[in-house]
Amino acid sequence: DAILTNDAGNFAGWLHSFYQFNESNTYIGPTSGAMGYGMPAALGAKLAYPDRTVVSLSGDGGFMMTFQEFETAVRYEIPVVSIVFNNRMYGTIRMHQEIHYPYKMIGTDLGDVPFSTMAESLGGNAYFVKRPAEFEEAIEEALDSEKPVLIEVEIDREQISVASTIQQVRTRHTKKA
């Protein structure tokens, strides 16, 4: 009976494509494409349902918009799990730029933000994972924690969506000479 929340972004395609929702009142997501929605929604869900597990899924760009709420979770001892998918870019914006202006991107790259290190510095638990086995261990420990937990998942920059790589998007949308 866990509650999942998420931000807007291409990463959410994985959730919507592969997670089977079987119960009502288990999902809170943005209805208007609002980035930064997942973490604040997770805090609200946990406060409303303190006995339920709450997991937030965010892209790195969206999470940067409301990362300060992780500090709120630590300060008020609100034990939520935040999973941040880090490809160091605003993926949805990048995808639309590739569709309309292949090879002409601007303002979509993000720096190397150490989300897991930042979460630890605020007093939460944190994990940095690159492989599925590392994720399995991290999520098991996170779900048992009584503190806020952040799991930073490094993902492939080239895999821009569930169905496409950046190169595939470019190939489909580059005009043939």
Give the pLDDT confidence score for residue 14 in this predicted structure: 86
Please, what is the angle between helix 38-48 and helix 68-75, to 10°? Answer: 20
Backbone angles phi, psi at 5, to 5 degrees: -125, 155
- pLDDT confidence tier of residue 177, bands split at 50, 70 and 90: very low
Give the pLDDT confidence score for residue 103 in this predicted structure: 86
Token pair of 26 as six digits = 């288990």
- pLDDT confidence tier of residue 84, bands split at 50, 70 and 90: very high
Give the pLDDT confidence score for residue 49 in this predicted structure: 98
Mean pLDDT score, 134-159: 97
* Average pLDDT of the chain to the nearest whole number: 93
Give the pLDDT confidence score for residue 176 in this predicted structure: 52
Under CATH, which architecture does the 3-92+112-158 domain have?
Answer: 3-Layer(aba) Sandwich (3.40)
Mean pLDDT score, 104-124: 96
The model's pLDDT over 9-67, given as tens digits with 9 standing for 90+, comes to 888 888 888 898 899 999 999 888 889 999 999 999 999 999 999 999 999 999 999 99
Mean pLDDT score, 83-104: 92
Q: Which residues pair with 56 in a beta bridge?
A: 5, 82
Residue 126 has pLDDT above 80, yes or no: yes
Residue 175 has pLDDT above 70, yes or no: no
What is the spatial distance between Cα 160 and Cα 89, in angstroms, rounded to a whole number? Answer: 10
Q: Where are the domains of the chain?
A: 3-92+112-158
What is the spatial distance between Cα 172 and Cα 177, in angstroms, rounded to a whole number? Answer: 13
Nearest to 146 by CA among 83, 76, 56, 84: 76
- pLDDT confidence tier of residue 76, bands split at 50, 70 and 90: very high
pTM: 0.92
